[in-house]
Amino acid sequence: MCTSIFSLGSDDQQTIYGFNFTNCIKTKIIIKLQRKLNMESFEIEVRDILGEYKRELDFCTAEYANMNEHCEADLFESKEKFLKSKVQLLNIIEEVRNFEQEYSQQEKESNALRERINQEREIILKKATAEKEAKELDLITRCLGLRISRTNHNTLVFTFTQIQESDPERKYMVELCITEKNEYRLIQTVPPIKNLDVYEAKLNETNNFTGFLIFVRDLFSKMF
């Protein structure tokens, strides 16, 4: 006789061919409940994380706004300082330019005054030198018997007397001229003196004309 599975006892109803339907259903229910609990826990965790991120974002946004406000204030202050410094620098540059102009003008006036002083000094020195040479020449003329004359060839002749005691009126002459280069040129002497070119070079080197005349007179006196 065949027996229906719906007519089986409680133990027989729970197991068919070795498969326990009750345990299987319980397991599935537990798994679904765990999944649901895990999902709810995950959603809560995600919401917490998102909330924390949102709070961090709000904090960063507020900090950025605060920093931006401070930066704008600092930038404005820096700009004001820069403009003031620029104005001060322009004023300093203008003062330096004015000082340079005043210094240049004073330097020109100083140079002009220095040049004028040098000119006056040269005039005084030339005058003093001329007076000294005139006195020396007068002394030489009186003591050494010197006379000066100019020839038709635009040369100067220096005539000495009072050299020879036995013949004090005898004349000894030196003829010379001044070249375009403002140098002395010895043309001749009477009586002749040897190595005249050497004495000419020495005269141009020292430019001591008075000493040269004394030296020549001494040479004339040694001829006897």
Q: Is residue 157 part of a domain?
A: yes
d(CA 45, CA 38): 10
Average pLDDT over residues 46-56: 71
Residue 223 dihedral angles phi and psi, to the nearest 5°: -75, -10
Average pLDDT along the chain: 78
Which CATH number is 179's domain given? 3.30.457.50
pLDDT at 129 over 50: yes
- What amino acid is encoded at 174 in this protein? V
Q: What is the pLDDT of residues 136-170, one digit of tens each?
A: 767 767 766 788 889 998 899 999 998 888 888 89
Does 163 lie in the same domain as 110?
no
Lowest mean pLDDT among 44-53, 109-118, 190-199: 44-53
* Chosen domain end from 106, 130, 154: 130
Average pLDDT over residues 62-71: 72
Q: Is residue 210 part of a domain?
A: yes
Structure confidence at residue 8 as a pLDDT band (50, 70, 90): very low
Element (H, E) at 171: none
Name the β-bridge partners of 189. 174
Q: What is the pLDDT of residues 202-223, one digit of tens each?
A: 999 999 988 998 899 999 988 8
pLDDT for 168 equals 87
For 176, other C-beta atoms within 10 Å of its C-beta total: 19
Beta strand residue intervals within 113-169, DSSP E: 146-150, 156-160
* Chosen domain end from 107, 130, 153: 130
Residue 187: domain span: 145-221
pTM value? 0.40
Max mean pLDDT among 45-49, 59-63, 138-142, 161-165 falls in 161-165
Q: What is the 8-class DSSP label of residue 1? A: -
Does 149 lie in the same domain as 119?
no
d(CA 218, CA 199): 13
pLDDT for 17 equals 46
Residue 56 φ/ψ region, left for φ over 0, alpha for ψ in the -120 to 50 degree band, beta for the rest: alpha
First-to-final CA distance of the chain: 196
